Structure 1
Amino acid sequence: MICRIIKSTAIPPVLNIVFLVVFASTLFSRVVDPVVPQIATDLAVDLKTAALLSTAFTLPYALTQPVLGTIADFFGKTRLMNLSLLVVSITALVCAIATSFSLVFGMRVVAGLVAGGIFPVAMALVGDLVPIHQRQIMIGRLLAVGLTGNVLGAAIAGVIADLFGWRGIFAVIGLFGLTITVAAFVILRGFPVPKPRPVFNLSAVKENYRGIFADPRAKFCFGSVFFEGIFIHGIFPYVAILLLVGGEARASIAGLVIAAFGAGGVIYSLSVPALVARFPERRLMLIGGSLGAIALSLAAMHFPWYAQVAIFGIFGFGFYLLHGCIQVHVTDLSSTARGAATSVHSSFFFMGQATGPVLYGYGYAHGSLELLMFLGSGVIIVIAIVCSRFLRLRNPPSTT
């Protein structure tokens, strides 16, 4: 395996191409949320059923993570990323011409099955190529790329849906993804990347996972992101519905509100160097959890849409401040199986995201959606306190 010792925070050349693949894939992740009401109307299903398109993507994403992480470690990280983006792009194009809800639902399932071979694997590559004391900054840059895709995906989805309908969203995103897939395949062949292990060995796979879970930080990392997925990302399919209750029916506004969450994350990623230099990690976790909890409570109070834009911006900043600290520890759980470690992390996170819409859907159906959002605020605070107490780097960087 090639290991680069990076003396500065310059991005290794191969990561520039990897970041482009991540950007293309994240455009797809939030395109459904702003148009749940449109899809429900056009395909003749109720709102709660249409909101399950989020679970259709996130649950398979979660369940296949351990397998994809192992594939990445043994057969090649960039190879898996390209193949995954190709399949995701094709499913988007099929959704664009689908005439039934079941076909759209099925394509979201297929996309979820392979999409985990992109962002978590990119994070593992960062762990391979960037030393621990610079890793949070580089992970912040990776997040900035992914979040920019989320922001543009949600915002563009709303605008396109208002102009051309929800099918146009999938057509545009799918064609863009195919273009990036071809470009990345050609360009990445000329870059040196960490080599996959030459021989697949089942006993080695078991040993890798045993080593990951032997680290006492694993249960806190994976458990925390599971509950983050439930109470933070689980609310996104209901943003358009919350706004609809307040009289705002435009998909573009729902997309703007959801995009504000991603914009808050982009602001976080740009401010990581200053934050890391100024505050200890423990305090960053507590600040991030507090901001996220306050924002989720405010979001439940049905403020006008322009206030919700600001609230969701704070929500995103707080979430990624907390989540980014946890991710650094995930990349430190194993030096020989980072693909597996980051994929298990992503598996728990997306299992939470798959559970969240179901839980919030129950609340919506029984008139207690806002109550669940207040409960989620309390859970976020608990996550921040627990992580700030129990997560410590194995070999903390020297301050001298």
Structure 2
Amino acid sequence: MSPDSTLRTPDHNERERLLRMLSVATFIIFFQAYMVAPIIPALSNAFGTSVQTVGLVVPAYLIPYGIATLIFGLLADRLGVQRIMFASLTAFAALTALTATATSIEQIVLWRVLTGLGASGVVPLALVLVARLFPYEQRGRPLGWLFGAMAGGMAFGSTLGAVLEPFIGWRGLFLAVGAAGGIVLLLFLPYRRMIAAAMQPVGGTLGDLIRGYMNLLGTPRGQRTYGYVFVNSMFHSGVFTWLGVYLERRYGLGPVGIGIALLGYGVPGFLCGPLIGRAADKWGRARLLPIGLGLSTLAAAGLLLDLPLVVAAIAITILSLGYDMTQPLFGGIVTSLGGKRPGQAMGLNVFSLFVGFGLGSLIFGEVLRFGFGAALGMFAAVELAAALCSLWLFRSEVTSGAKGLSSGTR
């Protein structure tokens, strides 16, 4: 194959095939991330440890994941996206399977830290590839597919994790997902050249790296976008991580019942992710973001009430819809901020997202010592404030034709 053919831009059909494979990899990684929180009660019983201690398993994965994205984004810009993605996917498959060898909560926490560090080079770089392959005004649909895959991983991970654990055990869950990651890695191999052709390495010094982050955070648009990614992720992870414990304590549900009650989480994004993306392309993010933040607030506030179980499950689904109408849209804005270093821009986005995920679960767990009323009330109040402020802060995020948002200077 000649150099020219190696560096050519993928055509429409190739882009769509690559998008589907990226979506599959994203689904598996988020399935693995979200299957853990609902089995906190089961792990607590298995190891005879408090739920607060077992709850550390969640941030043990999420915070290292977020931190490592800064490194992977830089390495991808310098060494090439395809090398980093395949190394990270290999680490994800191996370390997820090895978690099944743990004999204590402390060992599970250690394996989760290592998995978070190793797995964080796939999803952020998938988002970077979409940003490179699709123009900003057409980016909503492919981003919708990726975030829909994330939502699908959330939905099936949170449900099947809780439902399958009584039958195959928590060790079986990690072994099965590790094997699935290995299969995805093999299916990804034919796409190496296509990924390499889409993005070439970008050189630079440490000073360039620092200036890159300063530039990303040096404009009001960058500051508010990354800030909202962080705060919104803290809210959603804090509430979601402890839903299994909430359902066990309030409704007396076992693992299978918890899984069924969580069935709606992630379904809106899985089914409607591309549609939400198209709506953002058509009407602008200024209209959808406050709605998504408002729905999240209503869902958390609803869980404060003494609702019938069916209504609580609907509130959980609405909570998921709030996520699907916010974080993918923030991700779309980030893809226009990176300039020649999209890996760095998306790395900072996923850093904000996953560190927020980890801190949110930790903070909610600490406030939970005062009861679910205090924890849900505090988180709902913060999200409500964010929703009201977003009406003003994101008012310029209309369609690109109207305001020329690709400049990224607002």
Return the offset for 1:256.
3.4
Q: Deviations over 1:73-115 (max 9, x none)?
A: 2212232222212212222212223211111110100111122
Alpha-carbon separation, structure 2, partners of 1:145 and 1:374: 30
The SS at the match of 1:214 is coil
TM-score, normalising length: structure 2: 0.89
Gaps of 5+ in 2: 1-5, 404-410
Q: Deviations over 1:120-177 (max 9, x none)?
A: 1111111111101011222111111222122222222122112222221111111111
The residue type paired with residue 227 of structure 1 is V
Aligned residue number for residue 381 of structure 1 = 384
What aligned pairs does 1:213-362 form with structure 2 within 5 A after superposition? 213-272=217-276, 275-276=279-280, 279-362=283-366
Q: Is the 1:14–1:188 contact (alpha carbons within 8 Å) kept by the matching residues of 2?
A: no
Return the offset for 1:259.
4.1
The residue type paired with residue 239 of structure 2 is I
Q: Is the 1:18–1:78 contact (alpha carbons within 8 Å) kept by the matching residues of 2?
A: no
Alpha-carbon separation, structure 1, partners of 2:235 and 2:187: 37
2:72 paired residue among 68, 73, 76: 68
1:32 paired residue among 33, 36, 45: 36
CA shift in 2, pair 1:240/1:198, >3 Å: closer
TM-score, normalising length: structure 1: 0.91
Q: Is the 1:85–1:115 contact (alpha carbons within 8 Å) kept by the matching residues of 2?
A: yes
The residue type paired with residue 331 of structure 1 is T
Aligned residue number for residue 126 of structure 2 = 122
Q: Is the 1:14–1:192 contact (alpha carbons within 8 Å) kept by the matching residues of 2?
A: no
CA shift in 2, pair 1:300/1:52, >3 Å: farther
Alpha-carbon separation, structure 2, partners of 1:288 and 1:208: 30
The SS at the match of 2:265 is helix
Alpha-carbon separation, structure 1, partners of 2:132 and 2:270: 23
Return the offset for 1:286.
1.7
Return the offset for 1:393.
5.1
Gaps of 5+ in 1: none
Q: Is the 1:55–1:357 contact (alpha carbons within 8 Å) kept by the matching residues of 2?
A: yes
CA shift in 2, pair 1:394/1:341, >3 Å: farther
Q: Does 2:165 align with 1:144?
A: no
Return the offset for 1:198.
5.7
The residue type paired with residue 138 of structure 1 is P
CA shift in 2, pair 1:305/1:9, >3 Å: farther
The percent identity for this pair of structures is 21
CA shift in 2, pair 1:14/1:5, >3 Å: closer
Return the offset for 1:301.
2.5
Return the offset for 1:58.
0.9
Alpha-carbon separation, structure 1, partners of 2:74 and 2:315: 39
More deviation, 377-386/107-116: 377-386
Alpha-carbon separation, structure 2, partners of 1:309 and 1:212: 39
The residue type paired with residue 133 of structure 2 is L
The residue type paired with residue 319 of structure 1 is Y
Return the offset for 1:255.
2.7
Return the offset for 1:284.
1.0
The SS at the match of 2:326 is helix
Aligned residue number for residue 209 of structure 2 = 205
2:185 paired residue among 181, 184, 187: 181
Alpha-carbon separation, structure 2, partners of 1:262 and 1:317: 7
The residue type paired with residue 91 of structure 1 is L
The residue type paired with residue 72 of structure 1 is A
The SS at the match of 2:242 is helix
The residue type paired with residue 172 of structure 1 is A
The residue type paired with residue 182 of structure 1 is L
Alpha-carbon separation, structure 1, partners of 2:176 and 2:297: 35
Alpha-carbon separation, structure 2, partners of 1:185 and 1:173: 19
More deviation, 113-122/198-207: 198-207
More deviation, 315-324/193-202: 193-202
The SS at the match of 2:300 is helix
Aligned length: 397
The SS at the match of 2:103 is coil
The residue type paired with residue 297 of structure 1 is A
Alpha-carbon separation, structure 2, partners of 1:42 and 1:172: 20
Return the offset for 1:192.
5.3
Q: Is the 2:81–2:201 contact (alpha carbons within 8 Å) kept by the matching residues of 1?
A: no
CA shift in 2, pair 1:74/1:395, >3 Å: farther
Q: Deviations over 1:302-342 (max 9, x none)?
A: 53433222111111112221222222111111221111111
Alpha-carbon separation, structure 2, partners of 1:29 and 1:225: 18
Q: Is the 1:53–1:105 contact (alpha carbons within 8 Å) kept by the matching residues of 2?
A: yes
Alpha-carbon separation, structure 1, partners of 2:337 and 2:195: 27
Q: Is the 1:127–1:331 contact (alpha carbons within 8 Å) kept by the matching residues of 2?
A: yes
CA RMSD of aligned residues (A): 2.6
Q: Deviations over 1:177-207 (max 9, x none)?
A: 1111122124434665323326453233223
Return the offset for 1:239.
0.9
Return the offset for 1:46.
0.9
Alpha-carbon separation, structure 1, partners of 2:174 and 2:234: 26
